[in-house]
Structure 1
Amino acid sequence: FEGGRVLTAAIAAIDLALHDIVAKSLGIPVYQLLGGKHRDQIPCFATCGMPSAEELISNVKLLMDSGWNVIRVMMAPGGSEEGIFEPRESIPLTADRVIALREEVGSGPVLGVEYHHRLSVAEAASFCQRMPSGTLDFLEEPIRDESPEAYESLRSMTDVPFAIGEEFASKWQFMPYLERGITQFARLDVCNVGGLTEAMKVAATAEMHYIDLMPHNPLGPICTAASVHMAAAAPNFAWLEYRITPTDSVREFDTEMFPIQLSAEGDRIPVPDTPGLGVEFNEALAKEKSFEFWEAPHLRRRDGSYTNW
């Protein structure tokens, strides 16, 4: 029986550890095990919330002044009440604010919007149709991804490039999205898909279809390091998600637990030449700490029905 994402995440932990062990035993960085590196630095994108139109523009300008050129903005709130998300309230707000942002910053920066699987096909189409051509460089995960046919239907309604795949747990889940041109960026997560072994197979398949990787990377120093080595070794790479920026700190990476870890210099992470992944883990400290479970928010609509987070 197929184990799904939980099993492939466990496999990823073992796979990444084995790559780190073998590379350290040989005295080489992990990317050498993957065929060598195509680049010395990994371009990253920053994330920006959307509390208001004014704050959005201010935060994006702050990022640009700090050297960031690829910026993803989160969708506008879909209601003022806590725990409520109404797509039809979020869509016009998000569209108006993104259009105003593009007019303010010009055509130079790469701009994308993240909708985190919260829309239906009709709602996503309505959002895309509000976007003047050239406003958005990508739209991330507007609808749930279990049905390639649903995404294919949405793909036929808009020319906005899609970024899909952060929840995929195998190369087979990626296959229809790559082969049928449904996504234009592969949001590959090395910790969901089973580690570097499986990730490089997805990367190669994406390369065959001229689709660049845009890895999902909110999980911490080990995922960041593994993603950097994958991005160095894959020829078809766009940008890596990085969550410690002037406008975002979704995961403060624990420097006591991870005394040696990779970090960005401006909007790029230098590819390390140290043996292994380039991360050191304080195993003794980890044994002393209890596991802290994080539960995703629970969202609903005003009629009481459940909606995606």
Structure 2
Amino acid sequence: MSDDMHVPSVGVSNVTGLSKGAARAVRIADISTFVVRVGARNQLLVKVTSEDGLFGWGESGMSGREKSVAATIAHFSTFLIGQDSRQIGRIWQESYRSQYFEGGRVLTAAISAIDIALHDLLGKRLGLPVYQLLGGRQRDEVPSFASSMAKTTEGLLADIHTLVDAGWSCVRTYPGSFGEGDIFDPWASLSKTAAELIAIREEFGPSLCLGVDMHHRYTVAEAASFCAMLPKGTLNFIEEPIRSETPEAYVSLRRMTDIPFAVGEEFSSKWEAARFLDAGVTQFMRLDICNIGGFTEAMKVAAMSERHYVDLMPHNPLGPVCTAATVHMSAAIPNLSWLENRQSPVEALGFHDHEIFPVQIQTNGPVYLVPDAPGLGVEVDETRLVDQTVEYIEAPHLKRPDGSVTNW
């Protein structure tokens, strides 16, 4: 494996965070990162090993910027190695507050991966599944929603029939065609998408929960106009219609439509989430455990959401480690709607490679089964992580018809 794909730990011992008399075996001995190509996407895996050789796995959610996150983890390693691996909350705080410029998506993506790995490690040490560390499970299975990426109305209808026949009651689509090549025409996309969603609702009636992921590509005016194109009751949720940097923009959009919003996959802290919850502009919290700060931060956001009677609809577009972490979190919280599923019969993207991940969370149709194995319940074949040729990929760089740059 090339140096830019495997960032070795930095062998610096720092025991200032170690409790007096704590067993030496629980100290962090190594933090390693691996960038691997799984299916059509890269995944950044993190392995935290303690001095007795026990280890846990985590995953970062910042797809496309793996080198930045791996470099941040190398910085964190300089003061985390030698610390008590059981002091997960303290490690979170020190990682977050150890620089003047706190927060940001790169830092919290790195913290997320380490935090998840530490929970996996502690669960294995205690012989308990991670959800037991979070207060125990509140459900035996985790319901999921599935997505269709079909490009035509006929394809969407066929995919959704397949999903409904397989037991799914909640499905999501994506906006219609963008344009030619890297050109994205929002108005053409919106009119096509509206027609597709109307056809789906007519075909399946009111019992199907139907959403659309707008991927934050639109302005307030465009999103409001799109909502106005839809007959009342067409959509049960609209996901990320505009970018999330300005909650006031969502407040403005909220006044123009009664369609529930599903927002949160871009959040990198409880502080970001709080602004949307307090303003009442997200009805489904779409947090990503691999971006928001791991279990430590995600459980806080779940509690904040519960206070506002908002259910979590977790973002889960990555691999088996992310899925396992999200399933454990989803099992332990009271306020869950559906977990994103990228393993459905119509979306076999290969993100859950069984050769790299020989043991992973099992599904039963539209639900994830909550595991009883210690830790996350995921095993990684490290022999398949080495000597990989990883192509660092860029998301599409989209332009509007006039040549100006827009969001992917």
TM-score bin, normalised by smaller chain: over 0.9
1:34 aligns with 2:134: yes
2:326 alignment counterpart: 227
Structure 1 pair 179–251 and aligned structure 2 pair: CA distance change class (3 A): farther
Which of 99, 102, 111 lines up with 1:2 in the alignment?
102
1:90-116 Cα offsets, whole Å, 9 max, x none, are: 111111110111011111111001110
Distance 2:224 2:334 in 1: 32
CA distance in 2, matches of 1:285, 1:101: 42
The alignment partner of 2:172 has SS state of strand
Q: Which has the larger radius of gyration?
A: 2
Corresponding residue of 2:156: 56
Which residue of structure 1 lines up, in the alignment, with residue 117 of structure 2?
A: 17
Q: 1:276, CA displacement in angstroms?
A: 0.5
Distance 1:245 1:50 in 2: 13
What's the secondary structure of 2:363's corresponding residue? coil
TM-score normalised per structure 1? 0.97
For the pair 1:69 / 2:169, whether they are aligned, the reply is yes
The whole-number CA distance in structure 2 between the counterparts of 1:258 and 1:102 is 38
State whether residues 218 and 251 of structure 1, in contact with CA within 8 Å, keep that contact through their aligned partners in structure 2. Answer: no
Q: Distance in 2 between matches of 1:94 and 1:285?
A: 41
Structure-2-length-normalised TM-score: 0.74
Q: Is the 1:50–1:75 contact (alpha carbons within 8 Å) kept by the matching residues of 2?
A: no
Greater relative contact order (Cα < 8 A, sep 6+): 1
SS in 2 for 1:146: coil
CA 1:35 to 1:12, structure 2 compared with 1: closer, same or farther past 3 Å? same
Query: Please, which runs of 5 or more residues in structure 1 have no aligned partner?
Result: none
After TM superposition, list the pairs within 5 Å mapping 1:1-309 onto structure 2.
Answer: 1-79=101-179, 81-309=180-408
Amino acid at match of 1:17: A
One-letter identity of the residue aligned with 1:9:
A
Mind listing any 5+ residue stretches in structure 2 that lack a counterpart? Answer: 1-100
User: Does the CA-based 8 Å contact 2:318-2:351 persist in structure 1?
Assistant: no
Change in 2 beyond 3 A, CA 1:157/1:251? farther
CA contact (8 A) 1:216 1:241 kept: yes
What is the DSSP-based 3-state SS (H/G/I as helix, E as strand, rest coil) of the residue aligned with 1:287? coil
Give me the identity figure in percent. 58
Instruction: State the shift of 1:251 in Å.
Output: 4.2
Q: In 2, Cα distance between the equivalents of 1:293 and 1:22? A: 32
Give the aligned CA root-mean-square deviation in angstroms: 1.1
Q: 1:250 to 1:152 in 2, by over 3 A?
A: farther
How far apart in 2 are the matches of 1:296 and 1:78? Answer: 15
Asked if the contact 2:320–2:351 (Cα under 8 Å) also holds between the matched residues in 1, the reply is no
Deviations along 1:123-165, one digit per CA (max 9) or x if unpaired, are 0000111111111010000001100000000001100000001
Please say if residues 50 and 76 of structure 1, whose CA atoms lie closer than 8 Å, have aligned partners that are also in contact. Answer: no
Distance in 2, matches of 1:50 and 1:114, equals 13
Q: How many residues align?
A: 308
Q: 2:150·2:159 contact (CA, 8 Å) conserved in 1? A: no
- CA distance in 1: counterparts of 2:406 and 2:104, whole angstroms: 22
The whole-number CA distance in structure 2 between the counterparts of 1:136 and 1:232 is 27
Runs of 4+ in 1 over 4 A off after TM superposition: none
Give, in angstroms, the shift of residue 195 of structure 1: 0.5
For residue 249 of structure 1, report the CA deviation from its aligned partner.
Answer: 2.7
- How far is 1:172 from its partner? 0.4
Q: Please say if residues 42 and 232 of structure 1, whose CA atoms lie closer than 8 Å, have aligned partners that are also in contact.
A: yes
Aligned to 2:39: none
Higher alpha-carbon deviation: 38-47 or 296-305: 296-305
Could you give the per-residue CA deviations for residues 158-199 of structure 1, whole angstroms, max 9, x where no partner exists? 000000010110000101111111000000100000100000
